Structure 1
Amino acid sequence: MILVTGGTGLVGAHLLLHLAESESTIRAIYRESKSIEKTKSLFQSYQKESLFPKIDWIQADIIDVPSLAIAFKNIDYVYHCAGLISYDPNDESKLRKVNIEGTANMVNFCIEYKIKKLCHVSSIAALGSLAPHENAIDEETEWNPEAPHSDYAISKYGAEIEVWRGQQEGLNVVIVNPGVIFGTGFLNQGSGLFFSAIKKGFPFYTKGTSAYVGVTDVVSIMMHLMKSDIVSERFIVVAENNSFKKIIFDIAENLEVKKPKFEAKPWVLSIAWRLDWILATIFRTKRTLSKYSAHSLLSSERISNQKIKNALNFEFQSIASVIKEVTSLQK
């Protein structure tokens, strides 16, 4: 049997949808019963609700060891998709708890229950930093502890260390590092908020770049890797490197709303993240723009997807077509 963590999130829910088409039974963990409805709605949107009963839902939490003991019974393969995404500096301890400690718990149970293979979903945030002589970040780019990193990036890097620790103890592992993931069904969280903000008339854009990928490509690659003989490897999973300006303009065009008019230049972002800190401190609200987030919006580093393309002879869906699919449900 296959166990999926994070089955009520974007990647996990789409993974369950694809697994249900080929597997007899799948187990997924959840923390709150109401969150399962989001995954069920995804199945319904693809007219696959008849497959939903294939999922054996068990209430558990990756940071709650006793609950995981029940979830791991009769499991052979594990997809670890669960994790906390936050760029609020106030969430540092929570990020470490969920992403590092939670992953350590998963690895420990995989070893104890002699799991055949673990697929861990990491992030491009956990990749290394470019040296002066390098042109693109790849799987071999070294992590520089002296470089500025968000707490989220540090927690995902720490989670990978736990997975490699499991590999050294005999566990078969594979890691995927997706870029910014676009997909249907979760428009009020994660990258879905990107679309919602633009639909409401977000006024700014930057000329920085990031790497993007469609969720269907992410889960397809994960499933191919798990069925393959490939172990002890990590793979960057991105379709394209694009500027924030192009992505935002493409989304606005597909949503048939006004494109942002103002470029957020470095000095604007410098003021913005400081103002965000002041307001969050005074009103005790969540940070929406940290110093690191502002810096990343101006980054022009490129990320290579050559390793996964060579390993699986994989061709990615264009981001333009992914955006078209996602926005078609928001008009």
Structure 2
Amino acid sequence: MILVTGGTGLVGAHLLYHLVKNDEKIRAIYRSEERIKKVQEVFSFYTDDAINLISKIEWFKADITDVPAMIPAFIGVEKVYHCAAFISFNPKDYREMRKVNIHGTAIIVNLAIDANVRKICFVGSIASVGDSLKGGLITEENEWNPESDNSGYSITKFGAEMEIWRASQEGVDVAIVNPGVILGSGFYTAGSGKMFTQVYNGFSYYTEGITGFVGVKDVVAAMIKLMNSSIKNERFILVAENKSFKEIFFSIADAFGKKRPTKNIKPWQTAIFWRVSWMLSLFSRKEPLLSKYSARSAHSVSKYSSEKIETTMPFQFEKIDDVIKEVSDRYVNSLSQNRP
């Protein structure tokens, strides 16, 4: 039995399809029936038999931070894909991120140890990989610096990764992937998916910060290969290409046949905007449109190396422009299907 946490998120939904396609026996954690419908939508990108494939999954309703509810989920489980996470750059969400990302992962680890799980594959993030000190490519050897001005998300993802390493010391084999910004179909109102929605609706702004990007199908493929291999107690950066946000927004616009964004936002402008946004949120009690850390990441330049996964497996990544074209096409199709 394979247990998947976060099965109704971007990575989890695409992962579930590939596991089901391989006739694996799967149990997936979910929190609401509405989220399962989103998984069915993702399955429909791959097959006309989505409903039948969804029915092969044993859906288990629980919150990963609820120990009594999670104990039965581990009955008969040999492998765990831990994809669940709380992603936010809003400082107000820090406590909730600690609860889900660190405490929730600690619970998963403890229950995995008790259940004699053989292997855990954990979806980390490049946010928990250290910066390059000399401006070179960032690798798995770069150490995360706790004294840096890290975002709450970075802190909690690093803390979650430490819990996974604890599992490796308690006899459970682990494989950790640290993906860059994940691009994939099916989730267009949050995370990286919002970029597609914004550009389609005529978003005019871009920045020239650089980071690593990767397609969700590559993330899933790497996870499955690592889980089914003899590789253990290793971490792997998953970045297909290092690109600027300008390049990404331009590529999305081209894929949609839309006008490219024309306004280059400078660091000093976002520095003002996030402060104003924060002040307004104090009165409106709504989430700020931009946070200090999301503003900073929009301009920072960080380049990552995936040489380790490429040479260990070996593994070949899909070009980001091809990923963007596929996601954009599916976005347009989803719009046409939802029109009355």
TM-score, length-scaled by structure 1: 0.98
Paired residue secondary structure (2:7): coil
Aligned partners of 1:106 and 1:200: how far apart in 2? 40
Alpha-carbon contact 1:205-1:245 (below 8 Å) kept:
yes
Candidates 104, 107, 127, aligned match of 1:105 = 107
Residues 1:147 and 2:148 are matched in the alignment: yes
Per the alignment, residue 52 of structure 1 pairs with: 54
Aligned partners of 1:318 and 1:277: how far apart in 2? 37
- 1:189-219, Cα deviation, whole Å (9 max, x unpaired): 2211111111111121111101100000000
Shift of 1:318: 0.3
Shift of 1:18: 0.2
Residues 1:31 and 2:18 are matched in the alignment: no
Aligned partners of 1:260 and 1:318: how far apart in 2? 22
Alpha-carbon contact 2:106-2:160 (below 8 Å) kept:
yes
Alpha-carbon contact 1:129-1:147 (below 8 Å) kept:
no
Aligned partners of 1:25 and 1:82: how far apart in 2? 19
Alpha-carbon contact 1:88-1:288 (below 8 Å) kept:
no
Shift of 1:42: 1.5
Q: What are the within-5 Å matches in structure 2 for residues 1-331 of structure 1?
A: 1-46=1-46, 47-49=48-50, 50-132=52-134, 135-331=136-332
List runs of 5+ in structure 1 lacking aligned partners: none
Per the alignment, residue 336 of structure 2 pairs with: none
Alpha-carbon contact 1:85-1:152 (below 8 Å) kept:
yes
Aligned residues: CA RMSD: 1.0
Aligned partners of 2:29 and 2:293: how far apart in 1? 32
Aligned partners of 1:123 and 1:232: how far apart in 2? 16
Over 3 Å counting, the alpha-carbon distance change for 1:280 and 1:269 in structure 2 is: same
Aligned partners of 1:166 and 1:217: how far apart in 2? 25
* Misfit runs of 4+, over 6 Å: none
Aligned partners of 1:188 and 1:48: how far apart in 2? 26
Aligned partners of 2:45 and 2:157: how far apart in 1? 31
- 1:284-323, Cα deviation, whole Å (9 max, x unpaired): 1012311121111111121111000011111100000000
Alpha-carbon contact 1:24-1:54 (below 8 Å) kept:
no
Q: Give the total of aligned pairs.
A: 330
One-letter code aligned to 1:27: R
Segment drifting more, 154-163 vs 47-56: 47-56
TM-score, length-scaled by structure 2: 0.95
One-letter code aligned to 1:290: S
Segment drifting more, 7-16 vs 199-208: 199-208
One-letter code aligned to 2:218: D
- 1:67-109, Cα deviation, whole Å (9 max, x unpaired): 1111111111000000001011110100000000000000001
